Amino acid sequence: MKIVIPDGDTLALPDMKQHILEIFSKYGEVICNGTTRPEEVAEKIGDADAVLCNKTPVTEDVMEQCKNLKYIGLFATGYNNIDIPAANKRQITVCNAGEYSTHAVVQHTFALLFALAGNLMQYHTAVASGEWERSPVFSYFPYPVHELYQKTFGIIGFGSIGRHVAKAADAFGMHVLVNTRTKPEACEFELVSQEEIFRNSDVVSIHCPLTEQTKNMICRENLNLMKSSAYLINTARGGIVKEQDLADALNQGKIAGAGLDVLVQEPMNPDTPLKSARNCLITPHIAWSAVETRERLLQIVAGNLEAYLSGTPVNQVN
């Protein structure tokens, strides 16, 4: 079997690349590319039987050119970069890596929230510039700090990550509201409409996939429903947010702040209006990237491939 990894740099530090080859070489010949531009995908895959990718787009045109392709394994939970109907038509098996990053994303969700609620970046800057040294009193707090206790935490999307975020918010003594497309069985938290999430939450945290239904969900109309003291957290997909609308809401004080780990264009477009938006904390899509999380991811993807080769695919999305 010939296996191509078109975007190895998206999941490995330089010292992990050999480790990746060691994991997958037992299944066949492995070609690991650092990055692959969209126009190069078909050429790089060539006559491979399997592709293991993270964000590389595998379109119908690519599948049409790569006649040997039988399996696509994702180093990701989301699979919006794969043309699933085209894969179905060609009987190409597509498997993702669900739940590998749950704990890391929960951790990062609250890291963003803590930084906003505690004004941590402003305090770090103030201390570094000597403001605390010049303070007449021992405790220097010119910027407001808010506690989370008894605040309302609204979650949109209630998969593995959403469920664990809800438990963490509950542990902080927050009132948890949940909006989800599929009603969960025996949910211990209050299930409400999307409108109620936006109207009533002090924190709105996004944990749903990017679909035609969720694209641009964070728009002017919904942002106008939110409290002026509320925070928005997005560790899901950038396309869920209409970036100009969010920038306007932040700059006009319609909401208090935003913590974003994902943007519509990644790497970030230098012209994104969010880059200079008021009280907007942006991290470069790292919520999933803990060292332990990436090792877990490699093992899941290897397990998926092994299951496929044995004739009993797991984590199949098509």
Counting every residue, how long is the chain? 318
Q: What's the confidence (pLDDT) of residue 228?
A: 98
CA-CA distance, 117 to 216, in Å (whole number)? 25
In the chain, what are the domains?
2-100+291-309 (3.40.50.720), 102-282 (3.40.50.720)
- CA-wise closest residue to 115 among 247, 231, 201: 231
Please say whether the beta carbons of 177 and 152 come within 8 A. Answer: yes
Statement: residue 120 has pLDDT above 80: yes
In this prediction, residue 92 has a pLDDT band, given cuts at 50, 70 and 90, of very high
Tell how strand 50-53 and strand 71-74 pair up: parallel
At 141-189, the pLDDT tens digits run 999 999 999 999 999 999 999 999 999 999 999 999 999 998 888 899 9
Beta bridge partners of 153: 176, 203
CA-CA distance, 286 to 289, in Å (whole number)? 5
Tell how strand 152-156 and strand 175-179 pair up: parallel
Task: Determine the average pLDDT of the residues in 33-59.
Answer: 96
Residues noted as catalytic: 237, 266, 285
Task: Determine the average pLDDT of the residues in 279-288.
Answer: 96
Please, which residues have CB within 8 angstroms of residue 178's CB and are 6 or more apart in sequence?
A: 154, 155, 158, 162, 166, 184, 187, 189, 190, 191, 192
Strand 257-260: give its sheet, edge to edge.
190-191, 175-179, 152-156, 203-206, 231-234, 257-260, 280-282
Q: Has this prediction a pTM greater than 0.85?
A: yes
The pLDDT mean for the chain works out to 95
Q: What's the confidence (pLDDT) of residue 230?
A: 98
In this prediction, residue 284 has a pLDDT band, given cuts at 50, 70 and 90, of very high
Q: What's the confidence (pLDDT) of residue 282?
A: 98
Task: Determine the average pLDDT of the residues in 309-316.
Answer: 97
Task: Determine the average pLDDT of the residues in 23-48.
Answer: 96
Q: What's the confidence (pLDDT) of residue 11?
A: 83
Q: What percent of the chain has pLDDT over 90?
A: 91
Q: What's the confidence (pLDDT) of residue 77?
A: 85
If you search the block for the tokens 């998926």, which residue do you land on? 304
Q: What's the confidence (pLDDT) of residue 12?
A: 74
Peptide bond into 144 cis (omega under 30): no
Phi, psi angles (nearest 5°) of residue 222: -75, -35
Q: What's the confidence (pLDDT) of residue 15?
A: 64
Q: What's the confidence (pLDDT) of residue 32?
A: 93
Q: What's the confidence (pLDDT) of residue 263?
A: 98
Statement: residue 14 has pLDDT above 70: no
Statement: residue 17 has pLDDT above 90: no
* Least confident interval from 4-13, 27-36, 123-132, 230-239: 4-13
